[in-house]
Chain A
């Protein structure tokens, strides 16, 4: 999709107010929800069209309908992804910088909105209707306020110059040009896109950045920051002591002997890229920077402390986001870096254990490659982290996960999620060691004590053999649990998890059996209250006028929502809808819950292995308690021509157990069929279980 132009940025942010990092959770949106999150009405498209026509001089007549609809459709997907926040410390900081950049252009300022996108990638992009998205990854990387100001200036330029629409027109033109080959079309588009980037660099610098008197030296620094933004936010050596305890020292093969060189991609071949390489941008901008003369501009116009705070929040956020994005080693290293200055931080320590648990989970199931990245591909000090996870054997990783999770649960005994994490690890370990704790090749005592005790009555040569065995690499992990407290409880939890696993497997097969047996009668789940996201109503674009399509889409979507309400009311099924249109100013928590929930769904949807305790489940028990139900229902209908597909899924989001998964092909024009299917599936949820 193409409503954006990408530029990347620098580091840091700031915020007012205090953030309690000792009890850090996640960045939360505050106040009334902006209409960008829920208003996708035909009227809004119409007004955007008028705006576009005013701004755009090129001939848009052929594609304007498609352009508005398709870009709005993509923006809508981002806005309801649960990954976008508003009026939070990060976006507020960006907004303050925009206030400075546009102090002399109040009309333009009114049109621009900044939202934070919870992504680890360092990026920013703008849309045709004045939204600028800034990622958490970018805010974790920028080194000062000026660098962030430059990125925002660049994005402002994309908006004011209407680059996105121009790009769309050109794309349409090339696509319909039968005289061009596919490669020629691509090359033309890439070439044009690069021209736009140069223009945005220049226009943003001259019209916003330099007029606000930010330090011109930071433009070049900003390019450096972007060049290395794929690396962690800091370069600090990872010490293996992090894994070591008195009885366990990682052997030599775990140590990186020679770190990979950090390559500069400054002059990378950009012929197949939308952006010019950094070297070209530097050279292009150097002319204007030289013309600016002496650099009297500022690194900070706002309070530096505010920047530091913003940056710290972004970096904290990042360590959780990496786990959400299945980048476990990145999450590990990111948390490690932050722990250096924030020791004993529960949020970070939990992230570390989540990473180890996740790596162990996937290694136990033979899909380690999907979770682990080989150290030979890593640059910088993070390579050491990946080296450890390269070398570690399954049994060793199981014991390491057990040690870290046990220690964390002992340290924070009142945290339910940490307990879940520990239990999940124990469940995995018990499975790996074939359900008997006696199979664990571990000792719970100091090796010297063990040797002392076991050496009694042995001959000299036997004692020497025993001592040598305890020193070999292959057995050093045997002592990984030495020194942990409350180990007697481990036996109980171990047995409990074995039982739970067996019960779960049993329940699963029972459910399948019931499904088969009751194929014609359906299930009786006894669920009286469920949470619900706004239903997804997808209508594929038909041929014809797009403005008509959008009206039909709007009407059908609304009708669908009404229909679901009607069915649930008729049955008596209570629903709490995370429907953004209905969130008032007094429901401040609801938007954040919606965001958490959507993150959970995205992660649930993308997980490749069943039974994984997803990091997005961290706050799910809290939500279940708040809304007094652990159930969540998702309803969607995809229309494609004559056919439509109804999908209804209900899950227990505290355990990720699927309660019902109902999928049916229905005739696209058949409202009665839709009604009867919705009624049927809600009835199965609601009606009481039979004894």
Chain B
């Protein structure tokens, strides 16, 4: 893992150092705020009536990009989200003799907080010049998620590597500002489980939930080029 990160870092630095990209009128850097909407694909448990949680999860991202050639940009992102997800918790049944069946599955909402740090590449189609135009992107992020249930006191955290493929379009709305609209497909590459509370299988339900829910991101962004 360290080798991979190191390789990416060296590649990025060398691209920045040696490339002569035109950017937008000579401006090759852009800092951008992206607002992602993640529509849920998972169904809500029937037992949970009219929850306050949103059907949509929102993800906020800060994005620093550098155009390294006429058709390619590299970028670093930091993003995060807060929300609630439906899930299952195994709750221990007191005085139950059979050690195998002394857990009961209950449904609840988990509050979660997510932080993501990533690196990606945008490839602009040949008729465009980065950072303007239609692009495809590929990215890798390290995602840390913490979650807990108020009702049952269960809490956990996971760290995964998320892969992203997406398409979008960036256009300048003035000499210095751009807008970005697009969508992406995301999936988890690694899902280590870290149990914080041995009375639950909280993590597995959280993983399932995230896996189903965090697939399609719709994005709108506003950036400043310099």
Contact = CB atoms under 8 A, between A and B. Distances in A.
A675 interface: yes
A502 interface: no
13 contacts: A520-B70, A520-B72, A521-B19, A521-B20, A570-B26, A571-B26, A664-B127, A665-B127, A672-B24, A672-B132, A672-B172, A673-B128, A673-B133
A570 B19 contact: no
Interface of B: 19-26, 69-72, 127-129, 132-133, 171-172
Interface in A350-388: none
Contact of B70 (A521, A567, A675): A521
Nearest to B25: A679
Nearest to B71: A520
Contacts of B20: 521-522, 524, 687
B171 A670 contact: yes
A672 B177 CA distance: 11
B17 to A, nearest CB: 13
A646 to B, nearest CB: 11
Contacts of A321: none
Given A672-B132, A673-B133, A679 B26 contact: yes
Contacts of A673: 128-129, 132-133
Given A672-B171, A683-B22, 20 more contacts: A520-B72, A521-B21, A522-B20, A522-B70, A524-B20, A664-B127, A665-B127, A670-B132, A672-B132, A673-B129, A673-B132, A673-B133, A675-B24, A676-B23, A676-B24, A676-B172, A680-B22, A680-B70, A680-B129, A683-B26
Nearest to B18: A521
B25 A570 contact: yes
A448 to B, nearest CB: 68
B24 A522 contact: no
A392 interface: no
A666 B26 CA distance: 19
A141 interface: no
Contacts of B70: 520-522, 680
Nearest to A690: B20
A567 B25 contact: yes
Nearest to A665: B127
Contact of B22 (A522, A524, A670): A522
A661 to B, nearest CB: 16
A677 interface: yes
Nearest to B129: A676
A534 B82 CA distance: 57
Interface string A185-199: 000000000000000
Contacts of B22: 522, 676, 679-680, 683
A665 B127 CA distance: 7
A570 B27 CA distance: 12
A687 B20 CA distance: 10
A216 to B, nearest CB: 67
A521 B130 CA distance: 12
A676 B127 contact: no
B210 to A, nearest CB: 37
> Which of A664, A672, A680 has most B Cβ within 10 Å?
A672
Please provide the 6 A-B residue pairs with the shortest distance between their CB atoms, ordered closest to farther: A672-B172, A680-B22, A520-B69, A679-B25, A676-B129, A520-B70
Contact of B129 (A521, A665, A677): A677
Interface of A: 520-522, 524, 567, 570-571, 664-666, 670, 672-673, 675-677, 679-680, 683, 687
B127 A666 contact: yes
A272 to B, nearest CB: 46
A631 to B, nearest CB: 20
Nearest to B172: A672
A665 to B, nearest CB: 6
A680 B67 CA distance: 13
A670 B178 CA distance: 13
A288 B27 CA distance: 76
Contacts of B71: 520
A679 B129 CA distance: 11
B96 to A, nearest CB: 67
A676 to B, nearest CB: 5
B43 to A, nearest CB: 42
Nearest to A520: B69
B1 to A, nearest CB: 30
Contacts of A571: 26
B26 to A, nearest CB: 6
A664 B129 CA distance: 11
Contacts of A570: 25-26
A672 B23 CA distance: 11
Contacts of B172: 672, 675-676
Nearest to A683: B22
A687 B22 CA distance: 11
Contacts of A524: 20
A676 B72 contact: no
Nearest to A519: B70
A92 B70 CA distance: 54
B67 to A, nearest CB: 10
Contacts of A670: 132, 171
Contacts of A567: 25
Contacts of A676: 22-25, 129, 132, 172
Nearest to A680: B22
> Which of A567, A666, A670, A676 has most B Cβ within 10 Å?
A676
Contacts of A666: 127
A32 B24 CA distance: 40
A524 B20 CA distance: 10
Contacts of B72: 520
Nearest to A566: B25
Contacts of B132: 670, 672-673, 676
Nearest to B175: A675
B19 A675 contact: no
A673 B132 CA distance: 7
Nearest to A671: B172
Nearest to A673: B132
Contacts of B23: 676
Nearest to B130: A676
A679 to B, nearest CB: 5
A666 B133 CA distance: 10
Nearest to B20: A521
Contacts of B171: 670, 672
Nearest to A675: B25
A50 B21 CA distance: 53
Contacts of B129: 673, 676-677, 680
A495 B126 CA distance: 44
A679 B131 CA distance: 13
Nearest to A666: B127
B66 to A, nearest CB: 14
B74 to A, nearest CB: 13
B4 to A, nearest CB: 24
A12 B23 CA distance: 60
A639 to B, nearest CB: 16
